[in-house]
Amino acid sequence: MLNKSSIISVIGLGYVGLPTALVIANRGYTVIGVDTNDKVVNQINSGKVPLFEPDLDLILKNTIKSYKFSVSLVPQPSDVFIISVPTPFKKNKVPDLKYLRKAVQNIAPVISKNNLIILESTSPVGTTEKVRDWLARLRLDLNMPGTSEEPDIYIAHSPERVLPGKVFKELIENDRVIGGITPECTGKAISFYNSFVSGECHATSAKTAELIKLSENAFRDNNIAFANEISMICESLNVDVWEVIELANMHPRVDILNPGPGVGGHCIAVDPWFIVDSAPHLTPLIQSARKVNSNKCKTIIKKIRKKIRRENIQNIGFLGLSYKANIDDLRESPSLQIAETVSNKFDGKVFVCEPNIKQLPEGLKKNRNTALVSLKKCVDGSDLLVLLTDHKEFLDVPFEKLKGKKVIDTRGVWRFKG
Ligand code: SAJ
């Protein structure tokens, strides 16, 4: 049985792993955070956050003081191992499990009888069983669940489902889907999560849990693709897309999401491809949604270029680079892609305002005409303002400041100001 003297290791201290480790440590467990990146380990050890998430800095400082949380480059013997490493795709959109495989190789030598191993990384269907098979080959002395009558360890999948920006709240309050390789594995994992999650823990199989997580993100991608397609139709018909969606959503059974510059981040832009990889011929809708959302980004680039040509634009201001509001995450960000692509071939000045970063990413930094500036400088200095990410700082730009400027508002946040 697990109790508060149990040791929990969290493998991978990224956007989900680090907050998860802190939440569990604050519930009284002794937690070891493990990451192969020494920069991340050193930063956390000195109380500095390696990424932005509301409240993370304060919670990290307080948790370090409690002596319930330590960080290490190599895994140590523990009662529970939570694997929370990236599962990206390769260039050809095929899932890349190299970080997961490495994590399994790293924990294999320190695993012992009765350990619970939980895969939290979003994974293609069948991955939890793969983890079991990798471990079986590395630890011939241990009986594995699902292949032995008397298994020595427990293995389960409990996909993370937290929204960046609201991670601490959702880690505790969201329901969880928990699928073990066997019902015993599921039960063991549920009793662990019940000790720190207030949401309900739903029991299922490992494969089903994998597909549930992928389906959630593919569903959201489809809904956003629908909104983006409607937005392009509206543009061609000269109709206000925001009004269309707002009023359509007043229907009791319609709930269209918001159009934008495309879909970014390391989840929704990636995970649908894991389903496509498992069933290429059965996924025309999922594949189309991906195409529509990628095309939306290209459409915005064309729109900006047309405006530059037609209106003789000398200075452009881009507002927001991160993939969504109020975070610093630039991964797969359509906002960044748009700002980079346009500024690469623009002769005038490019002002970028991104309140959540301290320096421009390489792709923009290399352009001598491009500078990271304050909101005031960006707005005052530009003849064309392109709102790419709807950060809170941008919502209250006074109407007078926008007067006389050309504006492309990809998120519809200034629609009442024009
Ligand atoms: N977006 C729109 N219009 C919308 C909503 C979002 O264009 O109406 C765009 C955002 O700007 C962003 C992208 O979609 O570029 C994704 O943002 P998001 O807030 O929808 O989702 P993520 O990627 O930050 O987090 C998602 C969540 N999944 C679902 O809501 C189904 C989260 O719960 C998952 O835990 C996370 O993926 C993950 O880790 O998989």
Rounded to whole angstroms, what are the CA distances from 89 to 143, 215, 274, 338, 391? 31, 17, 8, 22, 28
The pLDDT of residue 339: 98
Tokens of 60: 């990290």
Query: What's the average model confidence in pLDDT over 59-88?
Result: 96
Distance (angstroms) between ligand 1 centre and the Cα of 294 equals 15
Pick the catalytic residue from 68, 185, 188, 267.
267
Indicate if the pLDDT at residue 414 is higher than 70. yes
Tokens of 39: 């920069």
Distance (angstroms) between ligand 1 centre and the Cα of 268 equals 6
The answer to whether 213 is a known catalytic residue is: yes
Please name the residues in contact with 279: beta carbons below 8 A apart, sequence gap of 6 or more: none
Give the number of the atom of ligand 1 that is nearest the alpha carbon of residue 265: 23
Give Cα 260 to chain centroid, integer Å.
17
Substitution candidate for ligand 1 out of 89, 163, 327 with most atoms within 8 A of CB: 163
Q: Do domains 7-199 and 220-409 have the same CATH topology?
A: yes
Indicate if the pLDDT at residue 418 is higher than 60. no
Q: How far apart are the first and last CA of the chain?
A: 62
User: At 204, phi and psi to the nearest 5?
Assistant: -155, -165
Domain ranges of the chain: 7-199, 220-409
The pLDDT of residue 1: 61
The pLDDT of residue 167: 96
* pLDDT tens track for 132-147: 999 999 999 999 999 9
Cα(336)–Cα(356) distance, integer angstroms: 13
Across all residues in the chain, what is the average pLDDT? Answer: 96
Cα(400)–Cα(397) distance, integer angstroms: 9
Query: What's the average model confidence in pLDDT over 2-27?
Result: 94
Three-state secondary structure call for residue 230: helix
Tokens of 62: 């307080």
For residue 32, the surrounding DSSP H or E stretch is strand 30-34
Which CATH architecture does the domain made up of 7-199 adopt?
Answer: 3-Layer(aba) Sandwich (3.40)
Q: Which residue type, as a one-letter code, is found at position 351? A: F
Measured from CB, residues less than 6 Å from any atom of ligand 1 are: 122, 160-164, 216-217, 220, 224, 257-258, 260, 263-265, 267-268, 323-324
> In the chain, pLDDT over 90 holds for what percent of residues?
92
Give the number of the atom of ligand 1 that is nearest the alpha carbon of residue 258: 8
Identify the band that residue 51 occupies on the pLDDT scale cut at 50, 70 and 90: confident
Q: What is the DSSP string of 163-199?
A: PTTSHHHHHHHS-EEEEESSHHHHHHHHHHHTTT--S
Q: Which residue type, as a one-letter code, is found at position 77? A: P
Give Cα 214 to chain centroid, integer Å.
13
Cα(157)–Cα(83) distance, integer angstroms: 10
Identify the band that residue 303 occupies on the pLDDT scale cut at 50, 70 and 90: very high
Cα(377)–Cα(380) distance, integer angstroms: 5
Indicate if the pLDDT at residue 4 is higher than 70. yes
Indicate if the pLDDT at residue 67 is higher than 90. no
Query: What's the average model confidence in pLDDT over 236-253?
Result: 97
Cα(66)–Cα(62) distance, integer angstroms: 7
Rounded to whole angstroms, what are the CA distances from 349 to 122, 322, 345, 400? 41, 21, 11, 22
Three-state secondary structure call for residue 387: strand
Query: What's the average model confidence in pLDDT over 385-402?
Result: 94
* pLDDT tens track for 144-171: 999 999 999 999 999 999 999 899 999 9
Cα(118)–Cα(83) distance, integer angstroms: 6
Of 393, 387, 389, nearest to 415 (Cα)? 387
Rounded to whole angstroms, what are the CA distances from 302 to 13, 320, 346? 38, 18, 13
Identify the band that residue 384 occupies on the pLDDT scale cut at 50, 70 and 90: very high
Which residue's CA is the closest to the ligand 1 atom numbered 9? 263
For residue 371, the surrounding DSSP H or E stretch is strand 370-372
Give the count of beta carbons closer than 10 Å to the beta carbon of residue 365.
Answer: 12
Answer CATH for 220-409 from 3.40.50.720, 3.30.70.990, 3.40.190.290, 3.30.420.40: 3.40.50.720
Three-state secondary structure call for residue 277: helix
Pick the catalytic residue from 68, 213, 296, 324.
213
Q: Which residue type, as a one-letter code, is found at position 292? A: V
What are the CB-based long-range contacts (under 8 Å, 24+) for 238-242?
240/415, 241/412, 242/412, 242/415
Identify the band that residue 416 occupies on the pLDDT scale cut at 50, 70 and 90: low
Give the number of the atom of ligand 1 that is nearest the alpha carbon of residue 122: 40
Query: What's the average model confidence in pLDDT over 284-304?
Result: 98
CA atoms within 13 A on the CB side of 11: 27
The pLDDT of residue 5: 87
Substitution candidate for ligand 1 out of 120, 216, 228, 268 with most atoms within 8 A of CB: 268
Query: What's the average model confidence in pLDDT over 207-220?
Result: 98
Q: Which residues pair with 372 in a beta bridge?
A: 352
Identify the band that residue 417 occupies on the pLDDT scale cut at 50, 70 and 90: low
* pLDDT tens track for 80-89: 999 999 999 9
Give the number of the atom of ligand 1 that is nearest the alpha carbon of residue 221: 14
pTM for the model stands at 0.95
Indicate if the pLDDT at residue 73 is higher than 90. yes
The pLDDT of residue 52: 85
